[in-house]
Amino acid sequence: MNDDLVKLTIDGIEVDVPKGTLVVDAAKKIHVDIPVFCYHPKLEPVGMCRMCLVEIGLPMRDRGTGELLLDDDGSPKLNFGRGLQTGCTVRVSEGMVVRTTTEPVKEVREDVISFLLSSHPLDCPICDKGGECPLQNLTMEYGPGVSQMDYSLKMHNEKQVPLGDLIYLDRERCIQCARCIRFQEEIVDDPVIQFHNRGRALEIVTMSEPGFDSYWSGNTTDICPVGALTSSDFRFGARPWELTPVPSLSPHSPAGANIVMSTRREAKSGGRSVIKRIVPRQNEWVNEIWISDRDRFVHHFADAPDRLQKPLIRKNGELTEVSWDEALDLVAEKLQAHSTAVAGLSGDRLSNEDLYAFQHLFRRGLGSNNLDLANRRLAGGDVTAQVGLASGSNLQDLGAGDAILVVASDLHEEEPIWWLRVKQASERGATLVVLNLRPTRLDKYADYVFRYAPGEAIVTVRQLVNAAKVETDTAVDQLTAAADTLIKANNLVAFYGYEGLTYTETDTLAKLLANLLLLKNEDKAHAGQINSGLIPVWPHNNSQGAWDMGIHPALAAGYQPVEASGMDAATIYEAVHNGGLKALYVMGADPVGDGRMPNRGQLDFLVVQELFLTETAKLADVVLPAQSWAEREGTFTSGERRVQRYYQAISPLGECRPDWQIAAQIGERLDMGKPAFAASLLFRDLAKVVPQYKGMDYRSLAKVAEQWPLVGGDDVYYGGTSYKNEAGLGQQWAAAAETDEVGLFEVADGDTAVTTNLPLVRIAALYTPGTLINHTPMLADRLAAPTLHLYADDAQIIGLQDGGETVIQVNGRSLSVQVCVNGHAPAGLALLSGVPWFPGMAEFEIL
Amino acid sequence: MTFTEKYAAEIEGIMARFPHKKSAVLPLMHLAQHYYGYMSREAMEEVAAILDLDPTHILSLAGFYTLYYEEPVGTYVLEICNDLACALRGADEFVEMACDKLGVGVDGTTEDGLFTIKTVMCLAACDRAPMLQCNLKFEENLDEEKFEQLIARLRDEAANGRTPPTVVEKVAAYAKSTS
C-alpha cells in the first residue's frame, strides 16, 4: 500500500486520497458534494460558514495496546464524537468514516441556510448572481423552503457601494465568508480589502487609492458565493442563463490566459451577439482559475463604434468606402508592381494563422524577406526554440529545491499571471533570484535581489553565469552564492525581458541565460528537462507565434534561415524615409502612433490592415478592415510555447474579414492559389511547414484532461464561476534541447555605453494607454498617465518636485509628464511609465 | 508636524517591544488617535506606512475595536455599557437620561466639544451597573444624581485646565518600560 495514501469511507464509498487532504476535497473526488460557502479549494480553510458540517467517525483503539476495537461483526468500532465537524478543516485519516446525508447533517444545513438568509435580501430577480449563485442553489437544495423570519425584521444595508470603479459591493447580500479578503491576501498579496465593524454591521471596505487597487480584483466576483461583489462591466448587463459561454484566450496575455467570453444576442445591439463579460477558464498549466483585470475588462474594443467596417481607398485625397474586390485588386496590383521595393510590418497580437499567411504572401507571392514586427522589442525567439521551457512543464510544480531567475522585467506590470506563478513558486520554497535596474514587486519574494547600474545588465548577468561555471564550496559574495543555487537547483526556469535594453542587448541576454541553462552540473544540464528552461517575457499575446511563423527578415516559418535576409523594421523605417521602399503593407500595427515612423516618407503605396483608423491608417492609400479575435477562431502561442485555440464568440462586424483571409485573398490575385476555407485548414497547412507544430491540429489542441480542483458546472459553490476547460488545454511544442544536443551560444561582448549621466528608461505599466485599452471605459481612471520617476537627489539637481508637471523632450518627441519622486527610481536613472515603448536608454531634456 | 515626527521616540520604543513590527499596530493606533483626536485618514495612513501595512488593515482594526474612534469625539468619551446584564439593571433608561441631560444622541458630541456618549458591550462590571467608562476610567453604580455630579466635576476640570489623563502618557510609559 502506498504510504502517502489514506483510505476512508464517505457515505459508504471507499476512497484513497493523499495524506493531508481535507474531507470536503476527498468527498469531491468521488463526486459527493459537501456544500460550502467560505471554503475554496485554492484558499486556506477557515471554517467560518459552518455549511460543511458532517458526521465524522474515527476507529476506536484500545488505550493500552493501541489495537483497533472491533464490533461483534468484526468491523472497527467508530467514535463519532459529540457533534458534527466542519469537513473543510478536518483532514482525512486512515479508517475515517464520513456521513454527509444523515438527519443531523440535513438539519444543520437547513439551519445554516436559514441563518444566512435571515440577513440576506431576497432580491434574486435583480441580482447578477441569480442563476449561478451558490447561496441560491444551496438554498434550493438544502434550505427550509419557508422562512421563519418576519420579512420586516430583515437588516437593510447599502446596496451600491463602489469599491473603486471596477467592483461594486452590495452590503446586504454579503454573507461574510471572507473569500474575497482571503484571495487578496493569500493568493495575490494585495490586501486592500478588509472587514470593518462586527456582527451584523460587518462590511467589506477598502482604503486604497483608487479603491480596491489590485490587478486581480475581478476574481473576487467569481469566487463570491453571493451577489455581494459584482463587476461594473457585467452589473445589470444580462442574466447568466441567457449567456453563451465561448472558450477563448486573452488577446493581451503572453502567458496565454484561458478565458470564457459570455455572449448574448440582444435587441439593443441590433440583434448582434455581444460580449457581456469575460471570466476565467481553468487551465492549471497556465492561469489556474484566475485572470488579471486586463484580461477580464479589456474587450470593449471588439464592440467599439469606431471600428472599421468597410475597405477604404484614398480617392481625391479622401479615404472612401469601396468593395472588397476593388480594394484587394488594387493592393495586389500595387504590391506586385513594387515587388522589388516592398516590405511588410506586422503586430504581434495576431493569430498564428494571420502571421503565417502574411509571411507566406511576402515570401511566396512577392519573393521578399522584407518582413518584420513593427515594434520588435525582445530578441531570443530562436534561442527559446533551442532551450525554452521544456514541453510538459507546469510552473505550479516548482517548489523547494528549484530555482527561478528573472532578469530585466517587471513581471507584475508586464504579465501578472507569470508574476503570480513565480511568487507562488517562491512561497512553495523555490529560490528566486531577481536582477533588475530598479526595485519591482517581485523583490519582496526573492531570495537574492541584484540591482545593476544603467548599462551594466549584460556585465552583471555574465558575472552570474561565469560564477555558475566555477565549482565552489564557499561563496565569496551574494552573486556567487546565487549562481551556485541556480546551477545546483533541481529545476531552473529563467525569465528575461527588455526593460532598459536595446534589441541587441536582449539577444545577448537570451544567449547568456541559455548558456546558464546549458551548463552541466554533475553531467546534467537544465535545458531540455521538464520544468526547466527559458521564458521570454514577450510584450504581446502572440509574440512567440510571430517568431514561430517567421515574421522575421532572416528566419522563415519554423526558424528556417532564409537565403538572403531582408530588411528589419529599423531598416524599413529608414527606407520609407529615404525612398528605398516604394510599398509597405502594415498588418495590425501602428508604427506612426507608436512614434517609430514619423510619416509615410517617400512611399508610393501604403496599405494598412486594422481594427481602427490608427495614425498609420490615416496616412494609407488602402485601409482593410480586419475582424477582431472575438469574431473568428485561431491560435496563439504563449511564451511557454503552448499553442492554444480560441473560438468565435460574436458575429463579424460589418464587412470585416480575418487577417489571414485578407492576406490569402491578396495572394490569390498573385496566383498563389485559393485561400484556405477555414482557419483550421490553414493551421493544418502551416503545421506541415513549421516542424515544431508537426502533428498539431485543431482537434489535438482541443484535448482536455481532468484538472484539480473541479470547477464549473453545478459546482459553482465550490470553485466559483471560473469555467471548466472543455475546449482544450493546448500543446507545448518541444524545445530542441529536449531531443538534441544543443551547443553553447557564442555571446558577443558588450553593453551599450551610457552617454548621459541621467539616462531615461521606459518602464512597463499594465494599464499603459493604447488603442485597445483606451476603449475600456471602466479602466479610464486607472490608465497609467505619463509619469517621470526620479530619485530625490536627481530631482533636486534638475529642479523638479514630486507631484509637479513638466514637459520633456525624448527621442525627438515632446511629452507632458507628471513628476514622481517616491523612491521607485534609483540614483542616476530616470524612469518613464505610461508611454509607448522605446528601446534601451534615452537622453531627455526638460523643456 | 505629523504624529510620526512628534512621537518618533515613542514609536521606536513601542516597535522595539515586538519581534514582528506588524504586532505594534494597536499601541501605535492609540498614539495616532491621541494625536489626531480620532483615527483620521492621516492617522491610518501614517500607522500603515510605519508598519508597512495597507491602510485598509488599520481601518479594519479601527472598526473592530470600540476604543478607536473613526469620527472626531469630545474631550470626554462616556461609554455606557448597555449589554444584557446592564440593561437588566436599567442601563437603557440611563442612556436615555444621559443623552437628555447633555442634549445629544448616542454617538453625538456636545456643542462645546466636551462630551461624547457611546454605548458599548460588556465592560465586565455588570454588578455595578448602570456604569460607564470615561476616558478608560470606570464610573459605577450610577444614577441621575451621580451622573450630574460627574458631568459637573468634568466641566470644572476642563474649565480649570486640568486635562484628563491621556492615552499618550500611558503609551509613553509603556514604551519606556521595555527593559
Per-residue pLDDT, B163: 66
User: What residue ranges in chain B does DSSP mark as E strands?
Assistant: 76-81, 115-120, 132-134, 137-139
Q: Are residues A512 and A618 in the same domain?
A: no
Start-to-end CA distance of chain A, whole Å, equals 76
**Mind listing the pLDDT tens digit for each residue in A675-719?**
999 999 999 999 999 999 999 999 999 999 999 898 887 677 787
**Using CA atoms, how far apart are residues A384 and A382, in angstroms rounded to an integer?**
5
Report the half-sphere exposure of B47 (CA within 13 A, side-chain side). Answer: 30
Q: Are A173 and A119 in contact (CB under 8 A)?
A: no
Which grid coordinates are listed for A419?
508574476
**Both A401 and A530 in a single domain?**
yes
Domain range for A628 is 312-376+542-700
Within a domain: A640 = yes
Is residue A832 within 8 A of residue A792, CB to CB? The reply is no
pLDDT in tens, A583-603: 999 999 999 998 899 999 999
The x, y and z cell numbers of residue B164, run together, are 484628563
The residue type at A289? I
Q: Please give the share of chain A, as a percent, with pLDDT higher than 90.
A: 88
Confirm whether A486 is domain-assigned: yes
CA A251 to CA A649: how far, in whole Å? 13
Give mean pLDDT, residues A554-574: 97
By C-alpha distance, which of B85, B107, B82, B83 is closest to B95?
A: B82
Q: Residue A405's domain is classified under what CATH number? A: 3.40.228.10
Q: Are residues A630 and A765 located together in one domain of the fold?
A: no
CA atoms within 13 A on the CB side of A140: 10
Question: Which residues from chain B sit within 8 angstroms of residue A206, using beta carbons?
Answer: 56
In whole angstroms, what is the distance from residue A211 CA to residue A527 CA? 44
Chain centre distance of CA A664: 30
**Residue B54 and residue A205: Cβ atoms within 8 Å?**
no
DSSP assigned state of A283: B
**Residue of B25, B40, B54 to mutate when probing chain A, most A C-beta within 10 A:** B54
Overall average pLDDT of the A457-463 stretch: 94
Residue A648: pLDDT over 70:
yes
Closest to A542 measured CA to CA, from A404, A773, A356? A356
Q: In terms of domains, do A65 and A162 share one?
A: no
Does the beta carbon of B67 lie under 8 angstroms from any beta carbon of chain A? no
- Asked whether B58 and B44 are in contact (CB, 8 A), the reply is yes
Report the percent of chain B where pLDDT is more than 70: 91
Please indicate, yes or no, whether residues A38 and A146 belong to a single structural domain of this protein: no
Question: Pairing relation of β-strands A787-789 and A813-820?
Answer: parallel
| Each residue's pLDDT tens digit, A28-83 | 999 999 999 999 999 999 999 999 999 999 999 999 998 899 998 888 999 998 89
The confidence score (pLDDT) of residue A691 equals: 97
* Strand segments (E) across A377-517: 403-407, 431-436, 448-451, 492-496
Q: Are B56 and A198 an interchain contact pair (Cβ–Cβ within 8 Å)?
A: no
A-side interface with B, Cβ within 8 Å? 191-198, 205-208
Between CA A556 and CA A773 the distance in angstroms is 32
Each as own residue / partner, the long-range contacts of residues B44-47 (CB below 8 Å, 24 or more positions apart, any chain) are B44/A207, B45/A207, B46/B2, B46/B3, B46/B4
Element (H, E) at A815: strand A813-820
A305 inside domain: no
pLDDT average, residue stretch A432-451: 97
Per the prediction, chain B carries an average pLDDT of 90
Work out the average pLDDT over A730-758. Answer: 87
Query: pLDDT-based confidence at A2, cuts 50/70/90?
Result: low
Q: How many CA within 13 A on the CB side of residue A561?
A: 2
Which residues of chain A lie closer than 8 angstroms to B59, CB-CB? 194, 196, 205, 207
**Long-range Cβ pairs for the range A683-686 (8 Å, 24+):** A683/A352, A683/A353, A683/A635, A686/A352, A686/A353, A686/A356, A686/A549, A686/A557
Write out A309-375 in H/E/C secondary structure. CCCEEEECCEEEECCHHHHHHHHHHHHHHCCCCEEEEECCCCCHHHHHHHHHHHHHHCCCCCEEECC
Q: Which residues face A313 on adjacent strands? A: A320, A622
Determine contact, residues A375/A589, Cβ cutoff 8 Å.
yes
Task: Name the closest residue on chain A to residue B53, using Cα atoms.
Answer: A191
Displacement of CA A369 from its chain's centroid (Å): 32
Q: Among A191, A197, A198, whose Cβ lies nearest the Cβ of B57?
A: A191
Q: What is the pLDDT of residue B66?
A: 87
pLDDT more than 70, % of chain A: 99
Residue B138 — very low, low, confident or very high, per pLDDT cuts 50/70/90?
Answer: very high
Dig out the grid coordinates for A328 from the structure.
Answer: 484587394
Q: In terms of domains, do A532 and A550 share one?
A: no
CB-based contact, B120 to chain A, within 8 Å: no
Q: Are A295 and A253 in contact (CB under 8 A)?
A: yes
Contact A191 B55 (CB under 8 A): no
Q: What is the mean pLDDT of residues A146-170?
A: 89
Q: Residue B56: CA atoms inside 13 Å, Cβ hemisphere, count?
A: 22
How many CB atoms are closer than 10 A to CB A680?
A: 17
Give the nearest partner residue to B63 out of A191, A197, A206, using CB atoms.
A197
Are A198 and B57 a contacting pair at CB < 8 A? no
Q: Which of residues 2-31 of B touch A (CB under 8 A)?
A: none
Residues A546 and A691 occupy one common structural domain? yes
> Which residue in the block uniquely carries the three cell numbers 519591482?
A440
**Residue B44 forms contact with A (CB below 8 Å):** yes
Chain B contact set for A191 (CB, 8 A): 53-54, 56-57
Q: What is the dihedral of CA A159, A164, A165, A171, to 10 degrees?
A: -10
The answer to the question of residue A188 being in a domain is yes
Q: What is the dihedral of CA A528, A417, A424, A463, to 10 degrees?
A: 50
Residue A11 inside a domain? The answer is: yes
The whole-number pLDDT of residue A151 equals 80
Distance between first and last Cα of chain B: 29
- Would you state the cell numbers that stand for residue B129, as one nine-digit string? 451597573
Query: Do A603 and A682 fall within a single domain?
Result: yes
What are A247's strand-pairing partners? A260
Give the model's confidence band at A234: pLDDT under 50 very low, under 70 low, under 90 confident, else very high. Answer: very high
Rounded mean pLDDT, B11-38: 92
Nearest to A191 among B44, B56, B64 (CB): B56
Per residue in A749-786, pLDDT (tens digit) is 766 677 788 999 999 999 999 989 999 999 999 999 99
Span A454-461, mean pLDDT? 93
Instruction: Mark whether A642 and A532 lie in a shared domain.
Output: no
Element (H, E) at A646: strand A642-646
Among A196, A205, A441, the residue to mutate for chain B (most B Cβ within 10 A): A196
Following DSSP, what letter does each residue of A424-450 receive, concatenated? Answer: HHHHTT-EEEEEESS--TTGGG-SEEE
Residues recorded for chain A: 847
- The torsion angles phi and psi of A189, rounded to 5 degrees, stand at 50, 40
Task: State which of A231, A259, A277 marks the end of a domain.
Answer: A231
Which range (A256-260, A629-633, A664-668, A807-811) has the least confidence?
Answer: A807-811
A94 part of a folded domain: yes
CATH code, domain with A790: 2.40.40.20
Cβ neighbours of A197 in B, within 8 Å:
63-64
**Amino acid making up residue A555:** L
CA distance B41 to chain A (A): 9
The answer to whether the CB of A645 falls within 8 A of the CB of A698 is: yes
Residue A19 contacts residue A5 (beta carbons within 8 Å): yes
Mean pLDDT of B52-58: 96
What CATH number corresponds to the domain at position A34?
3.10.20.740
To the nearest 10°, report the CA torsion of A181, A187, A188, A193: 0
Q: What is the pLDDT of residues B94-104, one digit of tens each?
A: 999 999 999 99
Q: Which domains occur in chain B, in start order?
A: 3-69+168-177 (1.10.10.1590), 76-159 (3.40.30.10)
φ, ψ for residue B73, nearest 5 deg: -125, 170
Question: Residue A281 above 90 pLDDT?
Answer: yes
* CATH code of the domain covering residue A127: 3.30.70.20
Which run of H or E residues covers position A534? strand A533-536
Q: Choose among A627, A624, A595, A600: nearest CA to A770.
A: A595
CB contact under 8 A, A208 and B60: no
| Closest to A371 (Cα-Cα) out of A581, A535, A537, A511 | A581
- What number of helices (H) and strands (E) belong to chain A? 22, 40
Pair A526, A552 in one domain: no
Specify whether A532 is located in the same domain as A551: no
Query: How many structural domains is chain A composed of?
Result: 5
Inside any domain, residue A724: no
How close is the nearest chain A Cα to the Cα of B20, in Å? 16
Q: State the pLDDT confidence band at B179, using cuts at 50, 70 and 90.
A: very low
Which of A47, A71, A101 terminates a domain? The answer is A101
Look at residues A581, A583, A550 and name the one whose alpha carbon lies nearest to residue A565.
Answer: A550
Query: Residue length, chain B?
Result: 179
User: Is residue B176 scored above 90 in pLDDT?
Assistant: no
* Domain finish residue from A168, A202, A231: A231
Specify whether A459 is located in the same domain as A563: no
Q: What is the mean pLDDT of residues A830-838?
A: 93
Whichever domain contains A601, its CATH number is 3.40.50.740
In the predicted structure, residue A298 carries a pLDDT above the cut 70? yes
